[in-house]
């Protein structure tokens, strides 16, 4: 609340909030579309591997030629992070190693960081957040993306005295999706390959949404930011609509499916036979809360909340998220309030790389959404014990021994250098900060 007012004051003082964007893809373009309509917010620089593509993106979202001419375009994100006059650096590349490098450059230069790059966040976010705090700047998750929206709902529940039983998001899921490769992804979206290509849609990226990897990454981000736990054996993806959240997402001993209260889970918009779920949350987020007194439970009933049979469990949900169209909330919160819209407080969960097929020595891993591995969320303690390879590092490296389909990969299974990203991940495993 009041961000628009605070931003307008900065505009009146001639000191607009100035952001720099790294990565002018879909998320970044959606943010750019809104910038001209936010009084007191400017984008001073945009970094993209293809600066001309970034200029084209600005034109595509309706920027004037004068606004484009006043913006610096560069190819190097680290260069942007060090530019004078940039208050907030938005990292929106989607590449874990690049995201880590850019965030560290921004923190070193005294800039706030908004990490759209969830892949980088679940690989090294707790260490990056700690370093940002030590430097006196903000490290923030991206509002508009589902993890930050879930964090907002969890904070709402806790600050009003409710116990958080479950929280998460919706997606389209069937068990067979874990095996889908980029070659077959478009049939599940109802598109032809030609239609997808014309729209500029990346098959590997969209396959990550489908094969469960992106949901696992976002679940881990939520867990690390809220202290909620993740299922021991990965997300269950129960079919569940908005009206059934409080009944399904409660502890198993009272008829739900949770191993314990206080968990992250992702609900499917499809029944297991492929039928659509009634009032699904494919694009939404939710939190299931528990009333801690008979009086509060009675109020649930009196004010029309849909509850489970006990009357003590209810749910709040948001049926949609607007991606980059809502990103300015994070930028302004960091610059004007010095607050993150969600940030990792510990390292409770990671995402294991799981063999998508039988893999053999010499096979080269192609990462998130590809042909070789998919991502399954896992408690960080278990990943540390078993030395599991995270999905964020499972790209561009070669197997040294066979791994059976459905098996988590371990560091010992691959040829991998102990580079900065690996070392930061291991530093995260050592973090024991309480949320």
Residues 271-320 pLDDT 10s: 999 999 999 999 999 999 999 999 999 999 999 999 999 999 999 999 99
Cα distances (Å, whole numbers) of residue 151 to 10, 158, 235, 285, 380: 27, 11, 18, 10, 19
- Quick: pLDDT tens for 398-422: 999 999 999 999 999 999 999 999 9
Contact status, residue 429 vs residue 383, Cβ threshold 8 Å? yes
pLDDT at residue 432 tops 60: no
The angle that helices 96-108 and 118-135 make with each other, rounded to 10 degrees, is: 10
What digits encode the pLDDT tens for the residues 27-48? 999 999 999 999 999 999 999 9
Q: Which CATH number fits domain 349-432: 3.40.1170.60, 3.30.450.30, 3.40.250.10, 3.90.1210.10?
A: 3.90.1210.10
pLDDT digits (tens, 9 = 90+) for 372-386: 999 999 999 999 999
Whole-angstrom distance, CA of residue 116 vs CA of residue 386: 29
| Strand 41-47, strand 17-22: pairing | parallel
Burial environment of residue 283 by CB neighbours within 10 A (0 to 12, 13 to 18, 19 or more): middle
Q: Residue 142: is its pLDDT beyond 50?
A: yes
| pLDDT value at 98 more than 80 | yes
What mean pLDDT do residues 199-223 have? Answer: 93
Helix (H, G, I), strand (E, B) or coil at 163: strand
Q: In what order do the strands lie in the sheet with 41-47?
A: 72-74, 41-47, 17-22, 88-91, 112-115, 139-141
Q: What is the pLDDT of residue 198?
A: 78
pLDDT above 80 for 200:
no
pLDDT in tens, 238-283: 999 999 999 999 999 999 999 999 999 999 999 999 999 999 999 9
Q: Cα(316)–Cα(288) distance, rounded to whole angstroms?
A: 7
- Domain borders along the chain are 2-144, 147-173+212-320, 349-432
Task: Quote the mean pLDDT of the chain.
Answer: 96
CATH number of the domain located at residue range(s) 2-144 in this protein: 3.40.50.720
């Amino acid at each position: 609340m009041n961000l628009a007012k605070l931003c307008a004051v900065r505009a009146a003082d001639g000191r607009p909030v100035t952001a720099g964007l790294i990565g002018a893809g879909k998320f970044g373009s959606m943010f750019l579309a809104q910038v001209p309509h936010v009084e007191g917010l400017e984008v001073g620089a945009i970094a993209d591997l293809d600066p001309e593509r970034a200029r084209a993106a600005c034109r595509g979202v309706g920027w004037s030629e004068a606004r484009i001419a006043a913006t610096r375009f560069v190819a190097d994100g680290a260069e942007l992070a060090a530019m004078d006059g940039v208050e907030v650096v938005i990292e929106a590349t989607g590449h874990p190693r690049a995201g880590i490098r850019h965030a560290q450059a921004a923190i070193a230069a005294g800039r706030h960081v908004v990490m759209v790059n969830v892949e980088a966040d679940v690989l090294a976010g707790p260490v990056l957040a700690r370093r940002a705090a030590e430097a006196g700047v903000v490290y923030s998750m991206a509002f508009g993306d589902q993890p930050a929206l879930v964090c907002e709902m969890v904070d709402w529940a806790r600050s009003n005295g409710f116990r958080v039983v479950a929280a998460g998001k919706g997606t389209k899921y069937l068990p067979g999706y874990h095996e889908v490769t980029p070659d077959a992804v478009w049939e599940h979206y109802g598109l032809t390959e030609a239609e997808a290509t014309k729209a500029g849609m990346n098959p590997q990226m969209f396959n990550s949404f489908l094969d469960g990897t992106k949901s696992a990454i976002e679940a881990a981000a939520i867990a690390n930011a809220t202290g909620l736990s993740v299922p021991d054996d990965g997300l269950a993806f129960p079919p569940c609509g908005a009206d059934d959240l409080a009944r399904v997402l409660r502890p198993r001993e009272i008829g739900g499916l949770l191993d314990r209260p206080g968990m992250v889970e992702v609900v499917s918009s499809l029944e297991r036979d492929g039928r659509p779920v009634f009032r699904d949350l494919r694009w939404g987020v939710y939190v299931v809360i528990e009333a801690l007194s008979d009086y509060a439970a009675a109020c649930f009933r009196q004010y029309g909340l849909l509850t489970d049979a006990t009357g003590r469990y209810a749910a709040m949900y948001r049926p949609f998220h607007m991606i980059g169209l809502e990103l300015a909330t994070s930028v302004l919160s960091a610059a004007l309030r010095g607050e993150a819209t969600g940030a990792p407080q510990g390292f409770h969960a990671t995402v294991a790389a799981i063999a998508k097929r039988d893999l053999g020595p010499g096979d080269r891993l192609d990462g998130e959404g590809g042909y070789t591995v998919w991502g399954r969320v896992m408690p960080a303690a278990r990943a540390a014990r078993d030395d599991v390879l995270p999905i964020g590092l499972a790209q561009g490296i070669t197997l040294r021994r066979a791994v059976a389909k459905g098996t988590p990969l371990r560091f010992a299974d691959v040829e991998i250098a102990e580079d900065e990203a690996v070392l930061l991940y291991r530093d995260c495993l050592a973090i024991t900060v309480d949320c």
